[in-house]
Amino acid sequence: MTDFVTLDELAERVRDGSRLGIGGVHLSRLPIALIQKIIAHGRKNLVFTSWGGGLALELLLEARAVRKLVFCFSSLDIFGLAPRFRDALERNVIEVEEWSALAMIQGLHAAHFNLPEMPFQLPKGSDLMSAGDFWKQEKSAFIGNPIGIAKRLDIDVLLLHTQRADAAGNIEIQGARGFDLSLLGAARRTLVTVEEIVRVGELGAPLSFVLPHTFVQAIAEVPGGAYPTSCLPYYSTDYEELLRYVRTGQTSFTLSESRKAFLGNAASIRIPDLTPARVEKHRIQIVRENGFTSDELLAVCLAREYDNSSICSVGSVSPLAMVSYLLAKATHAPGLVIIALNGGLIDIDEHPMSLTLAEPLELGSAKAVWGADETYHWYYQQGRITHEVITVAQLDVRGRTNNAWVKAGGKRVRLPGQGGMADVANLHQHFVLYLTRHSRERFVESVRFCTAARGLMSDVERIEAGLKPGKVRLISDLGIFEMDKEEGIFRLMSLHPRITLEKVRENTGGEFLIADELESTEPPDPTELDLIRNRIDPFGIRRLEFVPSRSRLDLIESLLRAESGLVSDIKGA
């Protein structure tokens, strides 16, 4: 029987040393109020287990409550690197298990199905499996081919925030589910905070998931329990509060009535509300030189990679990727399918880019709503995704990427991690990378540690693995490269306007091949530029990937100011 308790009583059920699973995804439905209450109770030596660390991990690390981290990725999204995560790993003060996303899903499934292990497709090409004893490479018992084996990954207590529970203890999850279902299956106990408790029979909102009370041990009604992350349809993510947190480090979050009203208004906005006149009234006027900017050129080059049959997934911190998908959908590929919010929102409609409004607009137009684990099984593992264009901190001339550790100023610097890149570099039909700042430090001869690379390269080995043949490309702000599958090295295929071969060589840390007939990249045409500037990204959110890190927070502040005016205009506030 499910217990209905206070937030204090819910937090008391977490013991020191617990293997703690964290529900929610990205900046959506994180159980922030419960985490803060657990910190207030002084819990220590916790094992933090989640695909993404992010804000939840930062709060627990600040309180020195974490002994071990089991993760795939950790950043503060558009705000940049997660400082406490970086500090803990750079000083080696916590134990770390860094999993590929697919291996983590299968480890959780092993616990769910009460098995010691589960198989998964090897992240061939990545060095990730060279570290740790939580996975192994074995031979298939039936066909003898190498496969990965992930050990069982148990969760003592899962912390979850959802929209609603009913009086019987059943809970309802609306919106993208992240790894919630896999975590639920692996958890011995599930503790839930909810926005509200309703009568039995009232659950079942469109595209929601209802979990029977059998699997829920205790529930606390905590309105605003995910704040400053979102919990649609109640409130959108408060990027202004997150900006304050990043600037000051202050970890107390208070949802005022006025802010609650604003975020509630934002959560209810849909694509038709963003009329051209309203967007034009509040858009940011960007001073441009004649012609086009580097961000516009890259968006157009990427958009040309897709066609009407493309299925494109949006990874973490990738506004430029989203702009390119939306541009293709608005021009030559109206049938392109976009999967947003880390695999959760399937087949969203074209819409103007936004920070505050992104999740409401995308959820409001999604044709299906899943968890990232479900999307892995239905799309990724079957090779249905054609593209998930991504950028990395560093890559080499053989297409090997590094998003884990780099050297800067004579010291090792910890980066966010590969997330799911180690898996999808092979599972996607095409492995397309982009670099916003092509330099010798970022495009090198050889990375020291490869977080992700395409290990299944030839058409034959891809077909044998049940995957589609595809290409490996790099689009940088200097030119376009394509992998020579026989040589295993990038070949420069095209130079961007006003870029010389000498400049590319000067800014590349390794030797690359050059096409016999080196082309010149076709610049954006007026229609493409107009769509990017006025319809797809009128606030210029794509610039977050191009400005220096020291300028990013100021740019975010100006973006949020413009979006605030737009929300108030739409809602008449």
pLDDT of residue 390: 94
H or E element at residue 365: helix 358-365
Mean pLDDT value across residues 184-209 = 97
The answer to whether 236 and 360 are in contact (CB under 8 A) is: yes
Tally of CA atoms within 13 A in the half-sphere of 328 that contains its CB: 26
Neighbours of 413 (CB within 10 A): 15
Mean pLDDT value across residues 132-150 = 94
- Residue intervals in the chain for CATH 3.40.1080.10: 3-221, 294-531
Buried b (16+ CB within 10 A) or exposed e, 372-385: bbbbbeebbbebbb
- CATH architecture designation of domain 3-221: 3-Layer(aba) Sandwich (3.40)
Query: What's the mean pLDDT when you consider all of the chain?
Result: 96
Q: Note the pLDDT tens digit of each residue in 389-443.
A: 999 999 999 999 999 999 888 899 999 999 999 999 999 999 999 999 999 999 9
Of the CATH numbers 3.40.50.300, 3.40.1080.10, 3.30.70.1450, 3.40.50.970, which one belongs to the domain with range 294-531?
3.40.1080.10
- Is residue 23 pLDDT above 80, yes or no? yes
Between CA 140 and CA 159 the distance in angstroms is 36
Between CA 131 and CA 404 the distance in angstroms is 13
Token digits for 300?
């157009």
pLDDT of residue 289: 65
The answer to whether 118 and 149 are in contact (CB under 8 A) is: yes
Tally of CA atoms within 13 A in the half-sphere of 142 that contains its CB: 1
Distances (CA, A) of 8 to 222, 417, 438: 11, 34, 51
Between CA 561 and CA 448 the distance in angstroms is 42
Residues with Cβ within 8 Å of residue 36, at least 6 apart in sequence: 59, 251, 252, 253
Q: What percent of the chain has pLDDT over 70?
A: 99
3-class DSSP state of 354: coil
pLDDT of residue 300: 98
- Residue recorded with tokens 């204090």: 8
Distances (CA, A) of 383 to 103, 425, 485: 17, 11, 19
Mean pLDDT value across residues 36-46 = 98
